[in-house]
Amino acid sequence: MSKPKVLVTRMIQQENIDRLREHFDVEINPDDRAYTKDELKQKIRGRDGVLSMLTDTIDGEVLDAAGPQCRIVANFAVGYNNFDVAAATKRGVILTNTPGVLDDATATHTITLLLSVARRIVEADKFVRAGKWGSWAPLFFMGLDVDGRTLGLAGAGRIGKNVARKAAAFGMKILYTDVKPDPDFEKSLGARFVDKATLLAESDYVTLHVPLIPATKHYIGEAELKAMKPTAVLINAARGPVVDEKALARALKDKVIWGAGLDVFENEPAVEPELLGLDNVIVVPHIASATPETRMNMGRIAVDNLLKVLTGGAPDTCVNPEVLEA
């Protein structure tokens, strides 16, 4: 009896590949780049399951190319804005993600960006490497204080709350906005639930933790940036399109806000060119979850989901559970 066929669209850690190969006929993208859509449509044909990346658009066209035998697409990510959930559900394809295991790494990365922007770490590093450092001076590379300042969380899910717990070590005051208040969160960290306008007006640092859905595209745009303090810092390690990059570049250039730290971008891997010429923004290539343990655990969840579905079971982390009920 032939093994189910699984496509892995980018190489992941070998231990998880080995687990897949114990049970399935596995093909892995040999190149260190994402498939084009045409390549994906070709490679996915006849596959029973797919281990996809956030860079793979999984829509009706791609699923039709796979064929009716395709039962699961397991995303190597907690986000799944690359999925056309309705199209997959219509075709009876199970979609899964990797929640929970990214929380610590992403929250730590968010705080890293916050501190690095506030204290001008990247700018100062470049200065020293360029041989420009002459001597110490009392007004040299003045940054911003973090201790005791106000942190505004746009979204207080698992990652947002994790950021708040880490920020508490700096004595930061916590504001948050979400779809509804969380009394337990407020009690544990003294957080205060506010509307978006209050969050922007009162926060010294704003960190974004909203999912990418139609309602959150350009959640931060020109009007929101103007509503922030001129000494404020914006951090985005959520999804790129929740920030209008052109508006952000203008705001940073015109000193509407003090600085920004970006892990994600509207049109990855492209970055708004205006941002690249500014010293008051740190840009890094979508690495919030890039630790060995985190990426191993992401792979483990994706592989577990593939194993369970392709052996007749239910996945652990299904994003379209109505398929399981059909």
In whole angstroms, what is the distance from residue 47 CA to residue 169 CA?
48
61 counts as catalytic:
no
Name the helix (H) or strand (E) containing 14. helix 14-23
From the list 45, 119, 218, 286, the catalytic residue is 286
19 counts as catalytic:
no
Give the angle 121-126-130 at the CA atoms, nearest 5°: 150
12-15 own/partner pairs: CB under 8 Å, 24+ apart: 12/51, 12/76, 12/295, 12/298, 12/299, 12/302, 13/292, 13/295, 13/296, 13/299, 15/296, 15/299
Q: DSSP label at 215?
A: G
216: left (phi over 0), alpha (psi -120 to 50) or beta: alpha
In whole angstroms, what is the distance from residue 151 CA to residue 205 CA?
5
Packed helices 103-118 and 121-129: angle between N→C axes, nearest 10 degrees: 60
Helix, strand and coil in the chain, % to nearest 5 = 40, 15, 45
245 counts as catalytic:
no
In whole angstroms, what is the distance from residue 23 CA to residue 3 CA?
7
From the list 71, 149, 239, 295, the catalytic residue is 239
CB 25 within 8 A of CB 6: yes
CB 288 within 8 A of CB 110: yes
CB 256 within 8 A of CB 230: yes
From the list 186, 202, 222, 268, the catalytic residue is 268
Residues designated catalytic:
239, 268, 286
